[in-house]
Structure formats: structure tokens, C-alpha cells
Amino acid sequence: MTNPDGRFGIHGGQYIPETLMNAVIELEKAYNHYKKDPAFNRELTELFNEYAGRPSRLYYAEKMTGDLGGARIYLKREDLNHTGAHKINNVLGQALLAKKMGKKRLIAETGAGQHGVATATAAALMGMECVVFMGKEDTLRQALNVYRMRLLGAQVVPVMTGTATLKDAVSEALREWTSRVDDAHYCLGSVMGPHPFPVIVRDFQAVISKEIRWQLMQKEGRLPDVVIACVGGGSNAIGSFWHFIEDKGVRLIGCEAAGRGVDTQETAATIATGKPGIFHGMKSYFCQDQYGQIAPVYSISAGLDYPGIGPEHAHLHDMGRAEYVPVTDEEAVNAFEYLARTEGIIPAIESAHAIAHAMKIAPDMDRDRIITVTISGRGDKDCAAIARYRGEDIHE
């Protein structure tokens, strides 16, 4: 899918300062070597299985299927992984790669804190130093995750620039990497940033669709008709799509956070409302204001409120191979409550965006059709916020 220069169609690339070129070239070389190294792959599989708890279950949601009265629904349970989300797949891969490259220090950015916690976890496991950049606003909103990262031995650096949120944390982490390239690896959290990050993160997350494929073959003897996942930067979605891209009969649907609606300013739906642009080292679609500046984005889900989308998704959209649909806060909250009541599974509010779309389309599909929905993470972290959304104040 990628061209040698790291482009996906017109998207992707390496729009970075001269001072970072050596770092990304070194990273690409190392990755191209280790991805073919049987010992590296054995070690990573061992970490996935013994530490993260893979393979994650592909669960037939019988009650939800019966209730909606249409397509058969399977849930890919990434919420059951160690640290409670898909992020550990990417982080274990990158931490192992960094270790092989002789790096002693992991740098990461984090929004809600989920990727920071996952990176701090891998750093603790592998005996590496860890520095996490987090917008000051986010450190206040996500105090529990700040505590978790510190407990795991990481240093958390609050970022005061810009809107003091995720995009500013990414910028700061890139800056820090520039000054520490010799001993540090930047463990990027999604399929974004300059090449080779979108490729590396996608490859480590592709384990999701690899498993869905054989698990569904075992259970149903065939491929799914529709694969649904939520999209922030797009790592759990591309991981869920990857092994089905060549199978033209499989519909791929990414669910973006529409926030209060795509016709309001309070949205994070990049494909629905964004325009092509260049930011954080890549060409892709971004939410922008009338002057082409990155627009402030909003979603009830902290994991989905990034103003861009990974370049491979931008390309899949341009080609018409994958569809991207907006899902509002209200629809996601309804789906969050629905899955809890119907299946006894509390999904991350991010994942609830994908559930919401399955609830929309399943009833109109024949009963012999199959939908898989990726539950990217568990929802314990969201309970207080959802209670607040419903007007109830509970202590965290």
C-alpha cells in the first residue's frame, strides 16, 4: 500500500525539519531489518500472548444480534488486553524495536492518557526510561492516568503551549525527539506523523484483523460482510481493516467522533468536515479554520478528539475503499449504555462510536450477514464522564 517514499496516494510523506531526518531514516532502516527477523517476531508474539493476553476474543454478541433483528454481530474484544485497550499492541512492538536499536528512553505524547499509560507500562517492563508529554488541560482532566504513569515510573511533562491538549503534546514530543535522537525513541501512539510511523503502527495493530480472519473462519467458515471500528488517528481501525483490504466484498467502515454534530463547531469528524493539509509531519485531512489553521476539535471521547486522520485512511477514503461516518456524542452515549445492558460489556466511549453505527445498520441487513465491531478498549475510565453527561455527579 505504501510507496517507497512513504506515501499513500497523495497523503503521508515526511514533512519534518532537517534535524529529524536522520532519526526517521535510522528508524526506517531498523524497522525494515527487524520486521523480517524471526527472533524479533518470536519475541513480539511471546509478549503479545504472555504479557498482553492475546489473541483477544472474537465474541458472538447473541443478545445484541437478536435484539437488533438483522446481521450477526461479533465483537473483537481488544478491551480484554492488558492495560485495557488496543494501544498495547503498538507500544510493545515499538518498545521492543527501540530496545533492539539500543535506545534507553521512550518519549510519548498522550491525550486522555491511555497511550501514555501503555508506553509507561512497556518502559517498566523493558527497563527503559519514559517521558510522556501531555497537555496541561489534559493532566487536570485525567489526573488518575497521570498518577498511573508516575506509578509506572514515567515522568509526565505538562505542555502549556497552544490549547494545551493532544496536538500540542505531539508537537512537544517531536521537539524533544529532535534533541535526544541518539538515545531516545519516539513511541508515537497512532497511525500518523511522518513516515515510517503510519506503517510501523499499522503493522503492529494488524494483528487485530489477522485474528478476526482466522477466528471468524473457525466460527462461521467465511469472511465478514462489514468491519466497523472507531477512528481517532485511526490505529485500531487500520488494524481491524488491514487483512481485509484486498477482499473487495468486505465493507470497511470507520466511525469518526461528530461531537455535537458535523454542522457545529464542536466536532472532531475529520473526513466529514476537514480539508487536505500538512501537520505533524504528514499530508492528510485535517479540521481547519477559514485561514487553514488547525481548528479546535471537540468530542465527548478524549481518545477521538484529534484534528486529523492517519494518511492511509485518507487514501482509503479517496479511493472509496473504506467509508467514514460521523457518530455524535449522544449516539455514542446511547450505545455505551446499550452494550452494557444488552451484553454486560462496558465499552470505551471511543468504541461506543463503532457500536452506535452497528446498531444503525444491522437491523436492515439479512440475518445471514456478518458484522464485526472492534471494541478498542474498556469503558471503566469513562463511567464518571458519562454519568455527568446524564446529569449525575459521581466521585471518581
Ligand X SMILES: *Cc1c(COP(=O)(O)O)cnc(C)c1O
Asked if residue 87 binds ligand X (CB under 6 A), the reply is yes
Instruction: Calculate the alpha carbon distances from 214 to 46, 95, 217, 225 in Å.
Output: 19, 27, 5, 15
Spot the catalytic one: 56, 76, 78, 87: 87
Task: Give the nearest residue (CB) to ligand X.
Answer: 377
Spot the catalytic one: 109, 172, 176, 211: 109
- For the CA atoms of 79, 82, 87, 91, the dihedral, rounded to the nearest 10 degrees, stands at -170
- What phi and psi values does residue 295 have, to the nearest 5 degrees? -85, 150
Sheet of 370-375: strand order equals 58-60, 72-77, 370-375, 226-231, 251-259, 322-328
- Burial class of residue 280 (count of CB atoms within 10 Å of its CB; 0-12, 13-18, 19+): buried
Q: Residues 347, 53: contact at Cβ < 8 Å?
A: no
State which residue, 176 or 312, has the beta carbon closest to ligand X.
312
* Among positions 233, 281, 307, 326, the unique one binding ligand X when judged by CB under 6 A: 233
Alpha carbon distance 147, 23 (integer Å): 31
State which residue, 72 or 244, has the beta carbon closest to ligand X.
244
**Which window, 220-228, 278-286, 287-295, 346-354, contacts ligand X (CB under 6 A)?**
346-354
Instruction: Calculate the alpha carbon distances from 215 to 67, 130, 211, 371 in Å.
Output: 24, 35, 6, 13
Residue found by looking up cell 508537537 in the block: 171
Let me know if 103 is a catalytic residue.
Answer: no
State which residue, 333 or 348, has the beta carbon closest to ligand X.
348
* Among positions 165, 190, 273, 372, the unique one binding ligand X when judged by CB under 6 A: 190
Site for ligand X in 107-136 (CB under 6 A): 114
Asked if residue 80 binds ligand X (CB under 6 A), the reply is no
* Among positions 350, 365, 373, 386, the unique one binding ligand X when judged by CB under 6 A: 350
Asked if residue 377 binds ligand X (CB under 6 A), the reply is yes
Asked if residue 348 binds ligand X (CB under 6 A), the reply is yes
Asked if residue 236 binds ligand X (CB under 6 A), the reply is yes
Alpha carbon distance 248, 244 (integer Å): 8
Let me know if 392 is a catalytic residue.
Answer: no
Count of residues that bind ligand X according to CB under 6 A: 19
Q: Residues 324, 256: contact at Cβ < 8 Å?
A: yes
Q: How far is the CB of 129 from ligand X (least distance, A)?
A: 23
Let me know if 109 is a catalytic residue.
Answer: yes
**Which window, 95-103, 232-240, 263-271, 314-322, contacts ligand X (CB under 6 A)?**
232-240
Asked if residue 235 binds ligand X (CB under 6 A), the reply is yes
For residue 207 the three cell numbers come to 494483528
Q: Which residues are part of the catalytic machinery?
A: 87, 109, 376
For ligand X, the binding residues (CB under 6 A) are 85, 87, 114, 190, 230-237, 303-304, 348, 350-351, 376-377
